[in-house]
Structures are given as C-alpha cells and as structure tokens.
Amino acid sequence: MAEKLSAIKGMNDILPPDSARWEWLEGKVRALMQRYAYRNLRTPIVEPTALFVRGLGEVTDIVEKEMYSFEDKLNGEHLTLRPENTAGIVRAVVEHSLLYDGGKRLYYMGPMFRHERPQRGRYRQFHQIGAEALGFGGPEVDAELILLAADLWRELGLSDVRLELNSLGQPDERRAHRSALIAYFEQHLDVLDEEARRRLYSNPLRILDTKNPQMQGMVEAAPKLIDFLGEASLAHFESVKAILDANGVAWRLNPRLVRGMDYYNLTVFEFITESLGSQGTICGGGRYDYLIEQVGGKPAPAVGWALGVERVLELIKEQGTPLPDLSPDAYAIVPNEAALLPAMKLVQTLRREGVSVQMHAAGANGLGSMKSQFKKADASGARYALVFGESELAAGEVVVKSLRDGQGGAQVLRALDTAADWAASLRA
C-alpha cells in the first residue's frame, strides 16, 4: 500500500457540511457588493516578489518573515504566493489601465499564504474577502467602505464587533512624528524589547503596535501621530467620523492603530471582537493613496479593507448562528434497474424547474433494498421521497411521499408528464 499523504500543516481541507457555511458567507458578500456597486476582480495567486517588497515595505513582518517566495526554475524569476491581495489588485488596475475612465469599486475573494505558526483563526493558507475603491480621494469613500463592512456584520447577524479608527496623516506628517517617536524611544531603551530595538530606526511606528505587556505603559505615553496632523488631514478624518455618526455606526479612536503595511495614509480602521482570544481583528484596512504610483501607475488615491474569512466564520460559529440548510427538496428512490431511466428523466425535469433532487445511486452491491433507500432518504434531510414503483410507472405516475410532515408520511400520486406543473410544490 502506498504511503498515506496528508495536507500541509496550516493548509486545511474544507469539508461538507462546513463548506456550506463558506458558500453562505460568500453568497451574502456577493449580494451586498452588488448593492454597493462593487465589481469582482480576480488576480493570480502567484505574483512577482518585488510587488510585495515594494508595496508592503521591506521591514514589515510579512516581507521579512512570512512570505512563501521561490525562484522559478525555468526563467529565474523571483515569485511569491500572495500574502495579501491589495498589492495584486493595484498591479492589475495599473497593468490594464482600469482607471482611464474614472475610479473603480472592486472586490475579491480567495486564498492568501503566510508562513507562520498555525493557531485558531490563523493559518498558513487563509482566505480573505476584500473591497477596494481606487481613484477616489474623498473621505466619503473611506466612510462608504466602513459602512459596507458594518452592513456585512448586520447581514451575518454578528453583534460582538467594534470599530476602531485612526488617521496616519500624510508622509511629511508621519516623518515629523517618526522623528519624535525615535527621540522618545531612545530615552526608554531599557524598556524596549529585542523586536522594538530592531525596529527603532527602520519602522518605529510598528513599536506602537507591540503586544509586550512590559512596554504598554511606555508606549501609551509616546507622542501621538494625531497631534502632528495638519489641517487637511484632520478635516478628512473629521468628515469620515461625521458620516459614520450620521449613519449610527459606533467607533472608538485608537491613536496606536497603525496597521501592518507601509502603504497606508490618512484613515485606517479595524473591526475587532473579544470572542476569538488573541486573534481579535476580523477586518482591517484604510487609505493608500501612494501605492498605485509605487507599483508603476499614475498617481491616484485608493482605499480598501480585507476580512479574514476563517476568523469571521469562527465568530459566526461562536455566536451560535446555525448552518444554512442545504438539504435536497427530494430524494429519488429507485426499486430496480428498470426504473432508472424514467426516474432519471423525471429528476432532470425537476432540477430544471429549480427543485433540488438527490438521486439514489447503486453501491457495490447494487441499488439496495427499499428499506435501506428510505433510510438514506431520511438521512439526506430531504422533505420528500420520490418512489418509482412498478405499478405507478406503468400508469405514468410517481409516488411523492412526505418525509417531514409528522403524520406518518402522507403521499400523493403525480403524473410524470406534468412534472413541470407540480415541481414548485416540492420546493421549500
């Protein structure tokens, strides 16, 4: 016997019935994106490594430690499995000149890859859903994206989610804040851990995001970026907050919120839950007005967010949302081989009329007894059994037997040649 192979650690199969929850979430997202006039864009899973180095920043955790990068054996290209998709979306927009006739509202779904220690809600292959609005510079689009996410939580029935906001201002404002931060941290070198010391001169803003409890008090007292923002940056932020307030979306200012990528400016935000332990951020994003130029396009503003599908599904499960019922409407019971042809013809007619039908299929020992078939029909969750008995077929009919009426299985005879007329009676 050949050696049994298993999936790579941190890269998981998604099996029924759990896959039903994924399909349900994706369906909710597609319907909501349609209402907000966002269009789907799909990018390759593999991108040039330089795209992420240039877009995310060389001293980010993702680029330094987490990317799956390799050299193409055929041509020596340096390639990477995408660790996030905003950079890929921007690359596609630039490559195909999508902004030539104005801004675009886009969304994506798909797998991402990061080499990190697997834990609850955090895997090496994980999935993101994201929304990106490119070519729009106004605060109303920042707010629209936040409202879109807030509407999604409402659609999914999620309540334990809070919104945190901050503004990172513009590059010159961040540079002034960066200088002040470095000077402040230099006065507290004895408190900085090894990671903070390593980032002190390369990316001091990320020190503010430390989870080290010994550093919390010192970090809380560090210079705050919002105190360095100019009039235009503050006005942009105030407009975002005013729109959220007008729409009843609660938020909390978090001056330490910086996000993990270097490309952000102005508005940044995260949706956080207390129900998933340390993996509390389920969605995050912000404005990235300089990324399009960084990957070779004409300067254009942009803003977006991404949510972690596994974390959102974990939260849905934690809050007790039941799995969607994907049971078939009917189960076709086939007593013998002679009944297969008329049974399959009727089943196909019903399916074309929108009825979900599970067809009984022969196993290693044939079709099996009627008793065993009824057991399988009941286990399928179907509401009706379609029984193709010999006498009924001779009369051009099928027995439609209720499996869920609590009355011992009420049944009626239906004509095979008028199936399109009675198909709707089988649908939930």
17 preceded by a cis bond (ω within 30 of 0):
yes
In this prediction, residue 60 carries a pLDDT of 66
- Closest-CA residue to 411 (of 394, 428, 392, 395): 392
Q: Give the pLDDT band (50/70/90) at residue 345.
A: very high
Alpha carbons 428 and 422: distance in angstroms, whole number: 13
Q: Is the pLDDT of residue 352 over 90?
A: yes
268, 335: one domain: no
- Closest-CA residue to 292 (of 96, 58, 33): 96
98, 28: one domain: yes
271, 416: one domain: no
284, 347: one domain: no
Backbone angles phi, psi at 402, to 5 degrees: -75, 135
Q: How many CB atoms lie within 10 A of CB 104?
A: 18
In this prediction, residue 31 carries a pLDDT of 97
420, 306: one domain: no
Q: What are 402's strand-pairing partners? A: 384
Summarize pLDDT for 64-115 with one digit per residue, the tens.
Answer: 778 889 899 989 999 999 999 999 999 999 999 999 999 999 999 999 999 8
Summarize pLDDT for 20-41 with one digit per residue, the tens.
Answer: 889 999 999 999 999 999 999 9
45, 69: one domain: yes
238, 305: one domain: yes
Q: Give the pLDDT band (50/70/90) at residue 61.
A: low
In this prediction, residue 214 carries a pLDDT of 87
306, 339: one domain: no
Average pLDDT over the chain, rounded to an integer: 90
- pTM for the full predicted model: 0.87
The count of structural domains within the chain is 2
DSSP-derived secondary structure for 133-197: EES--SHHHHHHHHHHHHHHHHHHT--S-EEEEEE---HHHHHHHHHHHHHHHHTTTTT--HHHH
Q: Is the pLDDT of residue 364 over 70?
A: no
Within a domain: 323? no
- Please give the radius of gyration of the chain, using alpha carbons only, rounded to the nearest integer: 28
Average pLDDT over residues 139-157: 97
Within a domain: 313? yes
Q: Is the pLDDT of residue 62 over 80?
A: no
Summarize pLDDT for 190-220 with one digit per residue, the tens.
Answer: 888 988 888 888 888 788 878 888 888 888 8
Contact 378, 357 (CB under 8 A): no
336, 312: one domain: no
Q: Report the CATH number at residue 144.
A: 3.30.930.10
Element (H, E) at 307: strand 302-308
CB proximity list for 333: less than 8 A, separation 6 or greater: 360, 370, 373, 374, 377, 385, 386, 387, 388
Q: Which of 266, 296, 318 is the last residue of a domain?
A: 318
Chain mean position to CA 204:
30
Within a domain: 205? no
Within a domain: 8? no
Structural domain for 421, as ranges: 330-426
Within a domain: 190? no
Lowest mean pLDDT among 199-208, 214-223, 295-304, 405-414: 405-414
Q: Report the CATH number at residue 356.
A: 3.40.50.800
Within a domain: 206? no
Within a domain: 165? yes
Within a domain: 290? yes
In this prediction, residue 52 carries a pLDDT of 87
In this prediction, residue 258 carries a pLDDT of 77
Is 113 buried (19+), middle (13-18) or exposed (0-12) by CB count in 10 A?
buried
Q: Which of 318, 353, 376 is the last residue of a domain?
A: 318
152, 61: one domain: yes
Alpha carbons 85 and 289: distance in angstroms, whole number: 16
In this prediction, residue 166 carries a pLDDT of 94
Interior angle at CA 236, CA 305 and CA 243, nearest 5: 70
49, 79: one domain: yes
Alpha carbons 344 and 332: distance in angstroms, whole number: 9
- Closest-CA residue to 415 (of 339, 346, 344, 333): 346
Q: Is the pLDDT of residue 407 over 60?
A: no
273, 336: one domain: no
Summarize pLDDT for 249-292 with one digit per residue, the tens.
Answer: 999 999 888 776 668 899 999 999 988 776 689 999 999 999 99
Tokens of 204: 């001091």
Q: Which of 274, 295, 318 is the last residue of a domain?
A: 318
